[in-house]
Structure 1
Amino acid sequence: MSSTNQRAFNFNAGPSALPLGVLQTAQEQLVNFNNTGMSIMELSHRSKDFEQVHNEAIARLRTLYAVPDNYEIIFLQGGASLQFSMIPMNFLQQDGQADYILTGVWSEKALAEAKLFGTPVVAASTKDHHYKHIPAIDELNLNDAAAYVHITTNNTIYGTQWKEFPATTAPLIADMSSDILSTPIDINKFGLIYAGAQKNLGPSGVTVVIIRKDLLDKANTHIPTMLKYSTFTENNSLYNTPPTFGIYMLGEVLKWVEAQGGLEKIAAHNEAKAKLIYDAIDESNSFYVGHADKESRSLMNITFRLADEELEKQFLAEAKEAGFVGLNGHRSVGGCRASTYNAVPYATCKALADFMVQFQAKH
């Protein structure tokens, strides 16, 4: 166990580690928020107290990411998985085409949903190479007339991450569920960004969408009210009852990001954490074998295997005994995975790297 209040060494892929200070603040305020005599979970979403929490969360996200005024920020429910269908429902006509770049399971799922509404085209895929790398920019076969181009910026199952985003004529739409707020980005490159909160933003239950306003003018209007982006942009995400506790927690996580020094500091910290574990892999003389090609390695999800399957089972068993949580790879691929999201401390990553070196020395 970690020495801080006997907290686990948490490498869960999602829901994942939250900053300890955020959890402690929530604990202090859980029963009586802002002297209201009520929990944040008991407040009306129409109350001034919650409205302040809600609007401050939006403002903090806008500041941290330098989101321009021609973009809306909204909070939705349904996770990133609902966005897989909501995006083509709003922007893909039955006779229209959208480009999808396949880099893992989640982009495959997004593609499958788009097929229900129009004609998605695979503009590039690394599936034949077991999703070990991100396609090079010059490998993308993009259609300038496409309704949009869809990418998944970080692939949690395979441990790959886009390091450079394509410049597209069609609006670029990105699923950033597992690497949002992990490094600075230029929002202007994107038409729409979406992310489930449960990796870097807070607890599960909230989905953040950052959408360029001109896309709203082109959206399909003949769809259910709750599946229109305009329903939420026109009502400050308060058309119906939002996930109030999740939004409160998201706001507290954004305060924590500010306190760390912003995204530049967060990015440097993430690089240092990931390097500890990647060094343990690279210096193991193939005792540990990374899944992702080096140029495509994720700073959020570090995937690796041991050469011997029985030894791999023993590694995971001993790691569990030592207090490490969430190191099993995704059920679809097996192996090992360490998810090193923003809130995972450097000391936790150092402990894992040390454990890996010690385990190799024993075996």
Structure 2
Amino acid sequence: MSRVWNFSAGPAALPEEVLKQAAEEMLDWQGAGMGVMEMSHRGKEFTSIAEAAEADLRELMAVPDNYRILFMQGGAIAENAIIPMNLLGQHDSADYVVTGAWSAKSLKEARRYCKAHVAASAEAGGFTSVPAMTEWSLSDDPAYLFTCTNETIGGVEYPFEPDLAAIGRAEVPVVADVSSHILSRAMDVSKYGLLFGGAQKNIGPAGLTIVIVREDLLGRSVPACPTAFDYKTVADNGSMYNTPPTYGIYIAGLVFQWLKRQGGVAAIEAQNIAKAKLLYDYLDASDFYASKVDPACRSRMNVPFFLADESLNEVFLAESKAAGLVQLKGHKSVGGMRASIYNAMPLAGVQALVDFMRDFAARKG
């Protein structure tokens, strides 16, 4: 069997080492006589898996002691509701920075639960950049400020970490959807009140959601918040109030171990910079392809690009698939192409894509 270069935005490619280990342990995890999917989530075997995964993630992201790591379900989309239900407390409003499709979706969902104020928006520029913090206008008393620090669809990534102290609003907790670039670059967790992300891009299979929340934000849920989604309940029960996505946690733990073997986040960030530079440099030098994102805000993880002659789109996709390069079609709301080059995508895969693009342009240009 020959594996393809998988540029899917998610569920995305996983490290082959992880997949091979999971395959080897499918029927018998470390002599337990059963696979992880068959284990009780409260048994000592799975408890050890979950504890190791949490400890490794805390180490990789340098998560401070006053933050709790929660393993939840529902994906990042569910968190768009779970967050206001948990963080509003006595507030009736929250602020949102809208930089693309996902933060716009988060804003729309929040308006089901509270007054959601747009502190800044990049819509006027076609969602191709991130508004500078000097342009942010917070409301008087928001429960939190929401950001999506990497927009998977539009390929826009924050070139800075939000620091509300710089604009005199240090009392407002920053919430960040980090689904599509968690663990791809160093992040100062202490600058955020809450980080969250679906696992299916840089961490593991769909079904697991990671939440990293500062302890002082626990216990603020509104009465209507379902018990299983109450952060304090989840934290107090070590993410075991209900049956968690056990296999997703297991695979995430293997990915964390793989990432540590690569040298940790700093080492993988260096690789990601090299991969993104290779692809963007080619795009910038070409008149056959184009990137529409402000170069200062280009995502290292998700690279949308467009053919100058879009009548060739289907031919490009068919020929790239035949060459072993798959899942390159852009999101339906944007069009064009998109290459997602998460941690598990090696430099060789990006080089294979650039080589194909160069050859295709030479033949069709």
TM-score band, normalised by the shorter chain?
over 0.9
- Where structure 1 has 5 or more consecutive residues not aligned to the other structure, the ranges are none
Q: Deviations over 1:280-307 (max 9, x none)?
A: 11111x2101021111100000011011
Q: Secondary structure at the match of 1:281?
A: helix
Aligned position for 1:291: 292
Deviation, 1:218, is: 3.2
Q: Secondary structure at the match of 2:195?
A: strand
Moved more, 103-112 or 76-85: 103-112
- For 2:91 and 2:273, the matched residues in 1 are separated by 44
Aligned position for 1:187: 189
Q: Secondary structure at the match of 1:299?
A: coil
Q: Is the 8 A contact 1:94 1:119 kept in 2?
A: no
Q: Deviations over 1:20-48 (max 9, x none)?
A: 00000000000001111101100111110
Aligned position for 1:132: 128
Q: Secondary structure at the match of 1:41?
A: helix
Aligned position for 2:317: 316
Of residues 244, 256, 279 in structure 1, which corresponds to 2:246?
244
Deviation, 1:220, is: 2.9
Aligned position for 2:349: 348
- For 1:272 and 1:215, the matched residues in 2 are separated by 37
Q: Residues 137-286 of structure 1 correspond to what in structure 2 (within 5 A)?
A: 137-143=133-139, 145-168=141-164, 169=170, 170-284=172-286, 286=287
> What fraction of aligned residue pairs are identical, expressed as a percent?
49
- For 1:239 and 1:172, the matched residues in 2 are separated by 26
Q: Secondary structure at the match of 1:305?
A: strand
Change in 2 beyond 3 A, CA 1:93/1:54: closer
Deviation, 1:94, is: 8.2
Aligned position for 2:9: 13
- For 2:223 and 2:232, the matched residues in 1 are separated by 9
Of residues 108, 113, 116 in structure 1, which corresponds to 2:112?
116
Deviation, 1:245, is: 0.6
Deviation, 1:95, is: 5.9
Deviation, 1:277, is: 1.0
Q: Secondary structure at the match of 1:205?
A: coil
Q: Residues 298-337 of structure 1 correspond to what in structure 2 (within 5 A)?
A: 298-337=299-338
Structure-2-length-normalised TM-score: 0.96
Q: Deviations over 1:310-330 (max 9, x none)?
A: 122222221111111110000
- For 1:167 and 1:275, the matched residues in 2 are separated by 27
Change in 2 beyond 3 A, CA 1:188/1:94: closer
Structure-1-length-normalised TM-score: 0.96
Q: Is the 8 A contact 1:94 1:117 kept in 2?
A: no
C-alpha RMSD of matched pairs (Å): 1.2
Task: Output the amino acid matched with 1:235.
Answer: N
Number of positions where the alignment pairs a residue of Structure 1 with one of Structure 2? 358
Of residues 92, 95, 98 in structure 2, which corresponds to 1:96?
92
